Amino acid sequence: MEPDTRSRILDAAEKLLVQHGLEATTLRMITAAAQANLAAVNYHFGSKEALIEAVFRRRLTWLNEQRIAALDAFEAEAKGAPLKPRQIVEAFFGVAIRMAADRNGGQTFMRLLGRTYTEPTDFVRTFLAEEYAEVIARFKAAFFKALPDVPQEEFLWRFHFMMGALSYAISGADALRLLGPIDDSDPDALYARLMSFLIGGLRAPLPALLPAIQSRPVRKPRAKRAA
Amino acid sequence: MEPDTRSRILDAAEKLLVQHGLEATTLRMITAAAQANLAAVNYHFGSKEALIEAVFRRRLTWLNEQRIAALDAFEAEAKGAPLKPRQIVEAFFGVAIRMAADRNGGQTFMRLLGRTYTEPTDFVRTFLAEEYAEVIARFKAAFFKALPDVPQEEFLWRFHFMMGALSYAISGADALRLLGPIDDSDPDALYARLMSFLIGGLRAPLPALLPAIQSRPVRKPRAKRAA
DNA sequence: TCAGGATTCAAACGTTCGTTTGAAACCAAC
DNA sequence: GTTGGTTTCAAACGAACGTTTGAATCCTGA
């Protein structure tokens, strides 16, 4: 084993956390995989929670810096004009999916991250919230400027949906095997596919929210509930 | 407590599983919430795994039956003609999001289900695969008939992305609080928003992929967006 | 009324969890 | 070569886990 104990533990924890989840991954599994002593986790990190936080912070900080850097580049290029929605999507989701394509740990981490959004452990959620605060604010502002016609609430929901699509795109074959055999080995193809889908969803016509408008007189469906 | 012990355990387990995850939810938490004795789980279900399976099966079977019934209704109405993509999306995702709006257990269950897709416990995955086999086959067929121009692989990915958006739409405020304060109390609005987004993504222009993949002659959906 | 299966209950089973401990091993600086 | 701080190690801690047990209790049908 080349790297030092601390790094080996981080790598092993990353792999095992995405496999078994935050609470079901044991320190004994981690230290065994890292070829370290059980007590090494508490020596180097202090506790299991602190280790998990270190696993996230190691890559998440860098990821969000990359996102902001990409946004900065587009905005510098635009010279004050609103960005195209495609550029903003690229800066946020493109960076993420490229990191997910990085076979050297990034892929594992992004799957872990996507999995964690829907796994609301208290201490992880508060930690994620603070780690995301800046990048969320920046991208919200950019989107509002680019799409002034879209109501704020509507956009937030679409952003949320896009995060879901990204999460599933990254978790890839794990959940996808439900649908049948699929090849997820080509990151470029996945990138192109997700981008196309996201922008299609983002630019979709605004839904008619008023019930009066929604009940269009199309031909009668069977037992369709009012919605 | 009105219902019998078995039902109380199922209800309590449903609530706690979505809060803490499959492996971190303990039988002692469940039986305490259900006001039942610890041994009641093993008496009524046999084991913790069997209890979890019962929690899923109780609602998932019904959900997929509803999906197939909705598809049957649309297909009967179409008299052999291909369905509109909107109808297929409605039959699959609309039924799901309506169940998620049901405050009487359905909401809790749908959050649990969405969470479980990315939580690959072995025995749950194999169980989900068999429970989904029929409905997946039906909807794949309907989509291929409705959108013959879309390559099969492309569509499966888009379906996968849509599942991700649905999952996040249902998990709702849990993960959404990252983005800021949002109102998720109106199921009808959520339904309209998700539908609009999904159909926008489904009908997005096909991505320009590597020529090797895209080699089949596509009947001209204006392939664009250089990747 | 009472026998007998169904259900509940308190208690304990062996196992594994995260954490702690104190000594051994390592390693640069003097 | 000795020192002093850093890191590793085997062992054990109390707590909590899923499961089992056997007796107590409930409930129904004869």
Residues of B within 8 A of A22 (CB-CB) are: 21, 24
pTM, two decimal places: 0.85
pLDDT bin (cut points 50, 70, 90) of residue A183 is: confident
Question: Given a cut of 80, is residue B26 above it in pLDDT?
Answer: yes
Answer positive or negative: Cα dihedral of A150, A155, A161, A162.
Answer: positive
* Contact check, Cβ <8 Å, A178/B128: yes
Question: How many A/B residue pairs have CB atoms within 8 Å?
Answer: 224
* Contact check, Cβ <8 Å, A192/B225: yes
Assess whether B43 (CB) lies less than 7 A from strand C: yes
Range in A36-40, A146-150, B208-212 the model is least confident about: B208-212
Assess whether A41 (CB) lies less than 7 A from strand C: yes
Report d(CA A178, CA B164) in Å as an integer. 13
pLDDT bin (cut points 50, 70, 90) of residue B23 is: confident
* Contact check, Cβ <8 Å, A120/B154: no
User: What is the nearest nucleotide to B49, using C1' and CA?
Assistant: D18
Among the listed residues A163, A170, A149, the one whose alpha carbon sits nearest the alpha carbon of residue A201: A163
* Contact check, Cβ <8 Å, A227/B203: no
3-state helix, strand, coil in chain A (%, to 5): 70, 0, 30
Question: Given a cut of 80, is residue A216 above it in pLDDT?
Answer: no
Chain C bases near protein CB atoms (7 A cut-off): 7-12, 16-22
Residues of B within 8 A of A159 (CB-CB) are: 179
Range in A127-131, A174-178, B119-123 the model is least confident about: A174-178
pLDDT bin (cut points 50, 70, 90) of residue A221 is: very low
Chain D bases near protein CB atoms (7 A cut-off): 7-12, 16-22
C-alpha B161, offset from chain centre: 12
Among A136, A183, A214, beta carbon nearest to B178: A136
Residues of B within 8 A of A194 (CB-CB) are: 161
Determine the pLDDT at residue B212: 41
Determine the pLDDT at residue B216: 36
Rounded distance in angstroms from the CA atom of residue A15 to the C1' atom of nucleotide C24: 31
Among B21, B73, B179, beta carbon nearest to A159: B179
Give the pair of three-digit tokens for residue B197: 């987004």
Give the pair of three-digit tokens for residue B1: 């407590």
Report d(CA A109, CA A15) in Å as an integer. 8
Q: What percent of chain B has pLDDT over 70?
A: 88
Residues of B within 8 A of A167 (CB-CB) are: 118, 164, 167-168
